[in-house]
C-alpha cells in the first residue's frame, strides 16, 4: 500500500467518524460500551440551560444578534487527552444524505464561521470535564431561515503503518441549529435525472430499471423529503411503483444523490420513470401525505451511527430549550417567524429510456431478415417464371408465324 493510499484511507476513516458524540444517560440515550485503558472516549454537549440539560444548541434570533453560550467536554476515557476545539458548517453527505461536517481543513462560510470559541485546545485528565464559552455573532445581513453547524472536540492520533506515519482525526461534537427570523421558504428540486434498462438474457424475462437523480434543498429551511418513483410504459401503462427511502433533515442548499433500482419491468419498448418529491417539516419522513402546510418544528432525533462503538450521533431534543442568554450589550434573542406557514409543494420530474430486451430484439431482427430474404427469393423466382413464360410464348408465336409463311409459299 502506497503512502498516498494510506493517507487517503486515514482521511476517509476520519470523515466517517465525524461528529459522533458519546450519548449521555441524562439525554435519554443508551450508555455507550466501556472503553479499554488505551482508548480515548469523550463527550461534547451544550452546557445545561436554566430548565435542564440540552441535546443540541437551538436558537431563534434576528440578524445582528450576539449569543454567548458554552460547551462541556468530558474525558470519559482512562488516559489524558488533548482536544482541538473548533466550529464548522454542517453538510449532508452527497451519497448517503447523512448529517456531517466540513473537514477541518475546509473553511466554513456559514454559521460555523460566526462562532468563536474561547479556547482552541483543551487538555483533560481522565474523568474530568471542561467548559468552553463561545460567542455566536449573527451578521446583520444574515439570510433568513435555518443555519446549521457543529462545535467539535477532536483528537488527533499519530501512528505508523508499514513504516509510514499516519494521522487519524476523531471528532465528537454538539449540533448548533440556528433559525434567523425573516421570510422562510421550503422548496426542493430534482436534477440530473437519468435512467437505464437492464435486460435479462432470457428474451421473455423482465428487466431492471435503474434511476439516478439528485435532490437539492433550494429553500432556506431544513426539510424531510418523501419520495415516490413510478415507471410506466407506452400510453401510460403502469409497470411498477416504488418508494425510495425518505431523506431526513436535508439542510438548506445541500444535495443528496439517490439511486433506485426497480426490478421486474416488462420490456415494453419504452419505460417512463417519474420521480415525485414531497417536502415536509422535520419529522415527516415516512408520512404518506402528499402535501403539508406547517412551520418548522424543533429538530428531530437523528439516527444513531454504528461506525464507532464508543460514540453516537448527537440527539436533538423535541422540546425547544430556553433561549440562550444575550450578550453584555443587551442583545436579546427574538422569536422566529414560526407563525408563518410554509407551503410544501411536491415536484415531479420524468425521464424516458428504451426498455428493450436485446436478446428478443436480436431474434426479431433475425426473423425479419429471414422473412425479407424469403420474400425476395419468392419474388425473384416468380419474376423468373413469368419471364420464362413470356419467352416461351414469344418463341411459340414466332414459330407459328414462320410456319404460316412457309404454308403460304
What is the tens place of the pLDDT at every residue in 28-72?
322 233 333 358 899 999 999 999 999 999 999 999 999 999 999
Q: Note whether residue 139 is domain-resident.
A: yes
| pLDDT surpasses 50 at 84 | yes
Assess if residue 342 is contained within a domain.
no
Any domain includes 95: yes
* Distance between CA atoms of residues 49 and 288, nearest Å: 37
Last residue of a domain, which of 312, 338, 356? 356
**68 and 153 part of one domain:** yes
When pLDDT is averaged across residues 97-106 and rounded to a whole number, the result is: 95
Please indicate, yes or no, if residue 340 is contained in any of the structural domains: no
Q: What is the pLDDT of residue 384?
A: 82
172, 21 contact by CB (below 8 A): yes
Task: Provide the 10 A C-beta neighbour count for residue 96.
Answer: 11
Residue 409 has a pLDDT of 64
Tell me: do 147 and 199 sit in the same domain.
no
Strand partners, 349: 275
- pTM of the shown model: 0.70
Q: What is the pLDDT of residue 387?
A: 85
Instruction: Point out the least confidently predicted range of 77-81, 121-125, 159-163, 277-281.
Output: 159-163
Q: Residues 63, 318, 109, 219: is their CA dihedral positive or negative? A: negative
Please check whether residues 313 and 269 belong to one and the same domain: no
Q: Give dist(CA 154, CA 172) in Å, integer.
A: 6
Strand ranges, E, within 266-389? 269-280, 292-294, 342-344, 347-355
What's residue 340's pLDDT? 52
Residues 275 and 378 both lie in one domain: no
248-283, pLDDT tens digit by residue? 999 999 999 999 999 999 988 899 999 999 999 999
Assigned domain for 344 exists: no
CATH number at residue 58: 2.60.40.10
Regarding whether 103 and 47 lie in a shared domain, the answer is yes
So what's the pLDDT on residue 207?
A: 92
Kindly state whether residues 234 and 370 are assigned to the same domain. Answer: no
Same domain, residue pair 303 and 370: no
Give 339's pLDDT tier (boundaries 50, 70, 90): very low
Number of independent structural domains in the chain? 3
Q: Is the pLDDT of residue 240 over 70?
A: yes
- 408, pLDDT greater than 80: no
Q: How confident is the model at residue 17 (pLDDT cuts 50, 70, 90)?
A: very low
Q: What is the pLDDT of residue 69?
A: 97
More confidently predicted of 379 and 243 = 243
Query: 110 and 58, same structural domain?
Result: yes
Q: Does 243 share its domain with 306?
A: no
Pick 215 or 25 by higher pLDDT: 215
Q: Is residue 316's pLDDT more than 50?
A: no
> Pick the residue with more confidence: 399 or 377?
377
Asked if the model's pLDDT at residue 115 lies above 70, the reply is: yes
| SS3 of the chain: helix, strand, coil, percent, to 5 | 20, 40, 40
- pLDDT, the chain, mean: 81
- Structure confidence at residue 97 (pLDDT): 96
Q: Are residues 272 and 308 in the same domain?
A: no
Closest by CA position to 41, among listed 32, 53, 52, 49: 32
pLDDT of residue 36: 37
Residues 178 and 32 reside in one and the same domain:
yes
pLDDT of residue 288: 58
C-alpha cell at position 355: 426498455
The mean-pLDDT minimum among 116-125, 183-192, 356-365 falls in 356-365
Tens-place pLDDT, residues 152-164? 999 998 877 787 8
pLDDT of residue 395: 85
- Based on the fold, state whether residues 134 and 236 are members of the same structural domain: no
Higher pLDDT, residue 408 or 316? 408
Range in 109-113, 239-243, 259-263, 338-342 with the lowest mean pLDDT: 338-342
Question: Strand 81-92 vs strand 121-124: parallel, antiparallel, or unpaired?
Answer: antiparallel
Domain that holds residue 248: 188-292+349-356
Percent of the chain past pLDDT 70, that is, above it, reads: 77
> Does residue 334 lie in a domain region?
no
- Domain-embedded: residue 338: no
Average pLDDT value for residue range 299-327 = 36
Q: Which of 356, 379, 396 is the last residue of a domain?
A: 356
Residue 147 in domain: yes
Q: What percent of the chain lies above the pLDDT cut of 90?
A: 57
Last residue of a domain, one of 316, 336, 356: 356
**Residue 4 CB partners (closer than 8 Å, separation 6+):** none
Please check the confidence at residue 127 and state whether its pLDDT lies above 90. Answer: yes
Amino acid at each position: 500500500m502506497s503512502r498516498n493510499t494510506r493517507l487517503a484511507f486515514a482521511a476517509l476513516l476520519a470523515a466517517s467518524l465525524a461528529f459522533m458524540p458519546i450519548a449521555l444517560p441524562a439525554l435519554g440515550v443508551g450508555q455507550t460500551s466501556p472503553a479499554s485503558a488505551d482508548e480515548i472516549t469523550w463527550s461534547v454537549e451544550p452546557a445545561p440551560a436554566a430548565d435542564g440539560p440540552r441535546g443540541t444548541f437551538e436558537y431563534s434570533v434576528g440578524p445582528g444578534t450576539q449569543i454567548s453560550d458554552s460547551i462541556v467536554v468530558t474525558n470519559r476515557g482512562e488516559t489524558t487527552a488533548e482536544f482541538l476545539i473548533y466550529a464548522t458548517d454542517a453538510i449532508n453527505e452527497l451519497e448517503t444524505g447523512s448529517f456531517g461536517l466540513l473537514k477541518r481543513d475546509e473553511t466554513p462560510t456559514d454559521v460555523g464561521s460566526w462562532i468563536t470559541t474561547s479556547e482552541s485546545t483543551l487538555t483533560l485528565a481522565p474523568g474530568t470535564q471542561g467548559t468552553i464559552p463561545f460567542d455566536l455573532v449573527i451578521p446583520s445581513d444574515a439570510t433568513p431561515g435555518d443555519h446549521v453547524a457543529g462545535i467539535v472536540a477532536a483528537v488527533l492520533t499519530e501512528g505508523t503503518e508499514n513504516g509510514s506515519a499516519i494521522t487519524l482525526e476523531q471528532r465528537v461534537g454538539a449540533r448548533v441549529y440556528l433559525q434567523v427570523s425573516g421570510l422562510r421558504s421550503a422548496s426542493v428540486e430534482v436534477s440530473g435525472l437519468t435512467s437505464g434498462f437492464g435486460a435479462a438474457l432470457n428474451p421473455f424475462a423482465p428487466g431492471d430499471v435503474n434511476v439516478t437523480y439528485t435532490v437539492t434543498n433550494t429553500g432556506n429551511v431544513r426539510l424531510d423529503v418523501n419520495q415516490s418513483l413510478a415507471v410506466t410504459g407506452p400510453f401510460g401503462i403502469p409497470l411498477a411503483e416504488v418508494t425510495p427511502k425518505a431523506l431526513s433533515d436535508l439542510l438548506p442548499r445541500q444535495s443528496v444523490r439517490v439511486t433506485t433500482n426497480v426490478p421486474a419491468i416488462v420490456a415494453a419498448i419504452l419505460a417512463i420513470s417519474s420521480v415525485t418529491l414531497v417536502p415536509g417539516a422535520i419529522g415527516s419522513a415516512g408520512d404518506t401525505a402528499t402535501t403539508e402546510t406547517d412551520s418548522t418544528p424543533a429538530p428531530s432525533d437523528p439516527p444513531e451511527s454504528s461506525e464507532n462503538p464508543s460514540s453516537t450521533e448527537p440527539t436533538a431534543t423535541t422540546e425547544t430549550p430556553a433561549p440562550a442568554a444575550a450578550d453584555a450589550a443587551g442583545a436579546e434573542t427574538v422569536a422566529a417567524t414560526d407563525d408563518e406557514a410554509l407551503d410544501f409543494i411536491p415536484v415531479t420530474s420524468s425521464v424516458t429510456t428504451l426498455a428493450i430486451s436485446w436478446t428478443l430484439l436480436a431474434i426479431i431482427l433475425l426473423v425479419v431478415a429471414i422473412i425479407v430474404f424469403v420474400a425476395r427469393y419468392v419474388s425473384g423466382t416468380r419474376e423468373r417464371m413469368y419471364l420464362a413464360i413470356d419467352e416461351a410464348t414469344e418463341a411459340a408465336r414466332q414459330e407459328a408465324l414462320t410456319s404460316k409463311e412457309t404454308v403460304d409459299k
